[in-house]
Amino acid sequence: MNRSVSLLSRASVGLLATLLVLCCMTGAARAALPDAAAIQAAIDKAYEDYKGLEEGAVADYIPALAKVDPKVYGIALVTTDGKVYTAGDLKTQVSIQSISKVFTMAKVMDESGPQSIYDNMGVDATGQVFNSIVAVEQYKGAEMNALVNPGAIAATGMVKGENYDAIWNSLLNYYSEFAGRKLTVLEDVYKSEAETNQRNQALAMLMYAYGHIEGDPLQATDIYTRQCSVGVNAQDLANMAATLANAGKNPVTGKRVATAENVPEILAVMATAGLYDDSGKWLYRTGLPAKSGVGGGIIAVSPGKFGIAVISPPLDAAGNSIRAQEAIADISNALGGNPYVVQAR
């Protein structure tokens, strides 16, 4: 065989191999997001479909939450390239409640490394309710996670700062960078929860007794109560979720907020424990790491694609907003948001 033929065949083998690799890569890839009109249509449809849904009840174990308007309903989705899609009420603020736990965990991981969370409260589901004392007793405050109250209060106790004000300001600024605007506390919610948070104080005392809180457990509880009372609208929450979807960089402001390497681990804890006792059911249905709060918000993250948030205060028995679950599941399904779904080869 002459030399030019053999060179040619080597080139074609190379080309074939490249094509094969490309084919496999395309075959196993996640589908791209549909176009802007299709995204908006999915959001509008979910808004209409669940506007009339009147199941569930607003949380009332914190007196101020019982006064929240059950009709508030807003949807916002932000893509990782910073495009914003919305429907419904984007103005009304609710208290962020448990959704804050995600961002406090992120802050501690930024400041002290991801191992600090793993070592202090753990990254496992408890199988118990979010404010369970049994869950603390079971493993002496370990083998839990930063998204249930005892682990969350311990995480707040790990935020660095000279004194109460320094810790609080640093935390609020961090949340604000995720949201892309300066957030503030809903003082009536804070006051109401601070007057009735004896159970959280007890959890904090136990966490302190077992060595998971080093400083003042009552200060940690109070800062935690304040962080739960931060006011957010659907747009704020979607920006926060989209920052996680975008490896820690806020796609709207363009500012890096969280360490990119920590984000997969944050999402893992959200997937495990984000929707209280129904976290497994939610993950089974949507594949999306998410976090709900008793204020009526839910955030969900489709990594690399979008962050979505819905606010609607009426909750189901597990404490998750009913309309928010339905709307997010439908929208994500329409947009191919489930990260476990890859195109068949």
Contact footprint for ligand GLU (CB under 6 A): 97-98, 130-131, 149, 193, 200, 228, 293-294, 319
Least distance between ligand GLU and beta carbon 76 (Å) = 19
**Per-position b or e across 87-108, b if 16+ CB within 10 A of its CB:** bbbbebbbbbbbbbbbbbbbbb
Least distance between ligand GLU and beta carbon 72 (Å) = 16
Listing DSSP states for 3-49 in one string gives HHHHHHHHHHHHHHHHHHHHHHHHHHSPPPP--HHHHHHHHHHHHHH
Tokens of 146: 């930063």
- Assign 262 to helix, strand or coil: helix
Residue with tokens 């594949």: 287
Which one, 87 or 193, has the nearer CB to ligand GLU?
A: 193
Which one, 95 or 262, has the nearer CB to ligand GLU?
A: 95
Which one, 80 or 200, has the nearer CB to ligand GLU?
A: 200
Nearest to 144 by CA among 207, 100, 208: 207
Least distance between ligand GLU and beta carbon 200 (Å) = 5
Least distance between ligand GLU and beta carbon 295 (Å) = 7
Task: Find the residue with minimal CB distance to ligand GLU.
Answer: 98
Least distance between ligand GLU and beta carbon 319 (Å) = 6
Task: Classify the phi-psi angles of 268: left when phi > 0, otherwise alpha if psi is within -120 to 50, otherwise beta.
Answer: alpha
Which one, 307 or 319, has the nearer CB to ligand GLU?
A: 319
Which one, 295 or 337, has the nearer CB to ligand GLU?
A: 295
Give the angle subtended at the CA of 315 by the CAs of 235 and 90, to the nearest 5°. 20
